């Protein structure tokens, strides 16, 4: 979670004021971080979770163990409320992770299958 909080400090969120950080743990133990990056054309913004996944995937990683996510008002340096991933991020996770992939939030850990039951998968 501390890596997610560090990544959150780099969020670019002038439109929502809601900063999010994510830290993705690979099976090999490497951590990839991401933050949200907003855009004036709202649909072009990137979530912290997908940013972390894209960084890892572009480095050749395909096996993941867990992701820690934190988010909240950009003026709060240490938000304590859970920040669940959006549906698009959950679907990206399902592309590369099994239902037991661990999603770590401030209140507890969730398996991906609980947050996205019956995910669309080609496998």
Tell me the pairing of strands 102-104 and 64-73: parallel
Q: Is there a catalytic annotation at residue 3?
A: no
CB 86 within 8 A of CB 22: no
Q: Which of 39, 48, 46, 53 is CA-nearest to residue 6? A: 48
**Ramachandran angles phi, psi of 19, nearest 5°:** -95, 135
Catalytic pick among 38, 49, 95, 102: 49
Catalytic residues: 49
């Amino acid at each position: 979670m501390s890596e997610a909080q560090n990544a959150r400090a780099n969020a670019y969120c002038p439109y929502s004021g809601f900063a999010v950080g994510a830290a993705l743990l690979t099976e090999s133990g490497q951590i990839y971080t991401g933050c949200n990056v907003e855009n004036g054309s709202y649909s072009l913004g990137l979530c912290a979770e997908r940013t972390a996944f894209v960084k890892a995937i572009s480095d050749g990683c395909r096996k993941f163990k867990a992701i820690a996510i934190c988010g909240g008002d950009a003026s709060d340096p240490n938000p304590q409320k859970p920040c669940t991933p959006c549906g698009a991020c959950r679907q990206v996770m399902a592309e590369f992770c099994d239902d037991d992939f661990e999603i770590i939030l401030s209140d507890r850990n969730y398996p991906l299958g609980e947050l996205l039951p019956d995910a669309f998968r080609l496998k």
